[in-house]
Amino acid sequence: MKRIAIITGASSGMGSEFAKELYFYSKKYNFGRIDELWVLARRADRLKNLKYDLEKATENKKDEEFPLIKTIEIDISGTQGVRALNALLRTTFKVELKNDGFEIALLINNAGFGTYGEFSETPLDKELEMIDTNCTALTGLCGLAIPYMHEGCTILNVASLAAFLPLGNFAVYAATKSYVLSFSVALAAELKDKGIHVLAMCPGSVSTEFANVASNGARKEVLHGYPAKDTVLHALKCASKKKYIALWTPKWKVTAFFSRFIGRFFGARYTFVHNKRPYRK
């Protein structure tokens, strides 16, 4: 049976780091054999560059086995994106059915973005698109993947440290990630008896393109961001050890712990007043 790993939002940041780590070192994790690595994103040129770089790095290692990389240009946001991926899976299923079939060994729901600024001052279309990507697509992809999963398979959903408390100037993003955390933990409980593991990854500030997108170019880099590679390595280790939530740094762990003692309105009001986030209109 062919075993597939799917990574969404793989064109940059943590998504590309997930792809690199699983391509080179998947055997050191507790995910079993991975035959194909599907990398999904809207930017086809970046996916092609990622594939080229990975294959170029291993072209002289003929004695070692590496997953086949399949680049898929797709917008997974909303129900339309979920339907598009469903069509792709059904087509793959029909082809592989002639052989020994296939299973999704690992699903990494990494695609997502945020928007800085006061809700009433940010584009409503952008906020709704965020919900479509961060919540609708993630939920739909889990629903599509589970029928192709068996005991030993894993779902890794990227939530955020923002999931633990409502945040002013970050209202919709924090709400979407709170949904991802709650959904992931509940899904982990439901799938435990089937042997399918679910992990919610909850990173704080990570050095990616996140701030540039969230601020519409007003802030080029994430402030005090931790390396994307190290954050990804920790999450994969947590998933391999069957943990349910991945919080890497002591700072993130302390923040998540003490958030339970802070009133929701107080937390939202404090961050609205004291944590201004720029947005270029």
CATH number of 2-274: 3.40.50.720
Query: What percentage of the chain reaches a pLDDT higher than 90?
Result: 84
Structure tokens at 253: 């762990």
For residue 231, the one-letter residue type is T
pLDDT for residue 22: 97
What are the phi and psi torsion angles at 185 (to 5°)? Answer: -65, -40
Render pLDDT for 163-175 as a digit per residue (tens, 0 to 9): 999 999 999 999 9
Q: What does 216-253 look like in DSSP terms, one character per residue?
A: TTS--S-TTPBPHHHHHHHHHHHHHTT-SEE--SHHHH
pLDDT of residue 98: 60
Q: pLDDT tens across 190-249, in order?
A: 999 999 999 999 999 999 999 889 888 888 888 889 999 999 999 999 999 999 999 999
